[in-house]
Amino acid sequence: MTRPGQLPDSLPESLVEFDRATDGGGEPPPSAALLPSGLRDVLPPEAETEARAIETMMGIFAAHGYDRVKPPLLEFEDSLFGGSGAAVAGQAFRLMDPDTHRMMGLRPDMTPQVARIAATRLRRAPRPLRLAYAGPCVLLHGATLDPERQVSQAGIELIGIDDPRADAEIVAVAAEALDALNVPRVSFDLTLPRLAAVMIEQAELGLDQRRRLLHALDRKDAAIVAREGGPLAGVLGDLLLSAGPVPRALAMLMAAPLAGEARRLAERLEASVQAIRARLPLATLTLDPVDFRGWQYHTGVSVTVYAGREQVGRGGQYVGGADEPACGLTLRPEALLRAAPARPARPRVWVPASAIGQAEALRAQGFVTIAGFDSGAACSDAPGDDIAEAARLGCTHILRDGQAWPM
């Protein structure tokens, strides 16, 4: 008699084996190497390259007076998603704190955390406050083109000042950091994320039309903007096609019939462009006045940083905690390392166990030292074996007679 789930006694042994191997005919067991989508192990040499790149950038941020802070990975969702953080709430993993039974969020972005620090623990620190940070963030969903769900950030925030020269400072500091990493073909795309919304608000369009129009603007679908734009169809159509190099795009924006808040945003952008140009006369600047892609907390002039085809960073003006004006820029180390040329690897020298005392001097000369072991089959004192062993461990040099010889 066989109970459900139990194999009958008479089942042939081969079939029992088969049944075990296939877990009762279901899915094969998952590979231990399989990670959830958008997550990856960073291996040598990329892991070290990334760490060094982040330290290079943080060094430049520090030299410009940006003091480093380190917010936690997790915090209560009310504080993580308060203020400017509301815009990132949809991208956060949440879990319950077993102590307080309150919900915590895993940060998808660090800027709202830094804004919180500035408004709370550093509220008495003198303004303008310059803060820098670096660390991993986790997103609920990857994008179609960028499936990563864990992304590193390294950035700066300039808090307590609303000035075109502040916008220029964050762009200039980011440019210097990219330059230090030899990131090629850098361009800055300036946008006014609130301009389209302000214009649509001023035109008092219906809610449904507003939604369709904003979606069409985001996709630069000129046909739908023309159909849904109502009184704005002409001007939004022109602005949509004005995207491009700054001189022409800015001239088109300033010539557009803008009123009130929309005009004020455009004038501020013009002032920021002049301030950026003054600090970075040779930078490639583009302008897309009706683009509002990205975290939705940016309120004024915003900037997206490109290196070739990679989007390597994003920043702009926002309203910090306690309604303080602020601006900042966050770079994405993974993306900019894809754009940057590979750094030459450091020379690796194999040091036999008998000569380990000389390794420190070699390290002082810039070598990576790989210590040999005398025990084990692969090692012996025969010189031929030393070379084989050094080669097996990927060394570029071998220590012999007190000197590092190239392999």
Partner 1 sequence: MTRHPVPGAEGLVFALPKGRILKECAPILAGAGIHPDPDCLDESSRRLRFGTSDASVDVIRVRSFDVATFVAFGAAQIGICGADVLMEFDYPELYAPLDLGIGACRVSVAAPEGVDLGDPSRWSDIRVASKYPNIARRHFAARGIHAEIVHLNGAMELAPGLGLSRLIVDLVQTGSTLRANGLREVETIADVTSRLIVNRTALKTRPEAVGAWIARFRAAIARRAEARAA
243 forms part of the interface with partner 1 (CB under 8 A): yes
Q: Structure tokens of 38?
A: 């958008």
Element (H, E) at 159: strand 150-159
* Positive or negative torsion for Cα 62, 66, 67, 72: negative
- Return the DSSP state at 294: S
Residue listed under structure tokens 């308060």: 82
3-state secondary structure of 229: coil
Site for partner 1 in 19-78 (CB under 8 A): 40
Cβ neighbours around 145 below 10 Å, total: 6
Q: Which of 304, 317, 330, 369 binds partner 1 (CB under 8 A)?
A: 304
* Of residues 232 and 395, the one with the C-beta less far from partner 1: 232
Q: Where are the alpha helices (DSSP H) in 219-329?
A: 222-228, 233-242, 246-255, 260-279
CB of 188 to partner 1, least distance (A): 10
* Of residues 90 and 244, the one with the C-beta less far from partner 1: 244
148 forms part of the interface with partner 1 (CB under 8 A): yes
144 forms part of the interface with partner 1 (CB under 8 A): yes
Contact map string, positions 322 to 351, toward partner 1, x by CB under 8 A: ----------------x-------------
- What CA–CA distance (Å, rounded) separates 233 from 387? 74
Strands 348-351 and 368-371: parallel
CB of 286 to partner 1, least distance (A): 5
Residue listed under structure tokens 């953080």: 85
Contact map string, positions 213 to 242, toward partner 1, x by CB under 8 A: -----xxxxxx--x-------------xx-
- Size, binding site for partner 1 by CB under 8 A: 31
Q: Which of 311, 317, 330, 369 binds partner 1 (CB under 8 A)?
A: 311
Contact 248, 242 (CB under 8 A): yes
End-to-end Cα separation, the chain, in angstroms: 71
* Of residues 60 and 174, the one with the C-beta less far from partner 1: 174
CB of 78 to partner 1, least distance (A): 30
CB of 225 to partner 1, least distance (A): 10
Note the residues at the interface with partner 1 (CB under 8 A): 40, 143-148, 185, 187, 189, 218-223, 226, 240-241, 243-245, 286, 288, 293, 304, 306, 308-309, 311, 338
